[in-house]
Amino acid sequence: MKKGLLAMMALSLTLGLWLGADHSTASALSCAEPRKVTEELKTSDAVFRGTLASAHPKADISKSKYVFQVSEWWKGESDATTVTLYSNGWESFETGKEYIVFADKSGEKLKPHLCGNTGPSSSVDVTSLGEGSQPEKPDPSAESPRPGGILAGLIELIRFLQGKY
């Protein structure tokens, strides 16, 4: 009886250790070779060349965002000079560097393609995309006057009226 109990305990312990062990395998994301840039242009909502002006990382990746200063558009809001791009969790952008971005709208948010041609402008051949368009520069005459400009003008007017000229 004692031997049977010991055998059951040994079998139970062995079975428990075997079932409790983590037999899962780790897997990682790997992308297939990116499509041709002309094919990716067709499937993208926005394609542009821009320099990363600022990055705003958040603990919640979906709220992390990047602001690009756009210098050339192939597809999208061709008059916009800046674009806010939200993270897909896999991109790696550096502030001050220029990129070619292929992105899609996810709701109201623009996100780079997960496995695509988005990358440093020096590593993306855009000749097949053709000539892009430059974003429109804001008209300086349309800008509202700065408070400092108004104050400086008032000071000059007072000096003039006091005969200091």
Q: Which fold has domain 37-124?
A: OB fold (Dihydrolipoamide Acetyltransferase, E2P) (2.40.50)
Q: Which residues of the chain have pLDDT under 50?
A: 141-143, 165
- CA distance to 17, 71, 81, 114, 148, per residue, from 97 (Å): 52, 12, 16, 20, 33
Domain ranges of the chain: 37-124
C-alpha span between 94 and 90 (Å, rounded) = 13
Instruction: Specify the pLDDT at position 142.
Output: 45
DSSP secondary structure letter of residue 133: B
The pairing of beta strand 119-120 with beta strand 65-75: unpaired
C-alpha span between 113 and 101 (Å, rounded) = 8
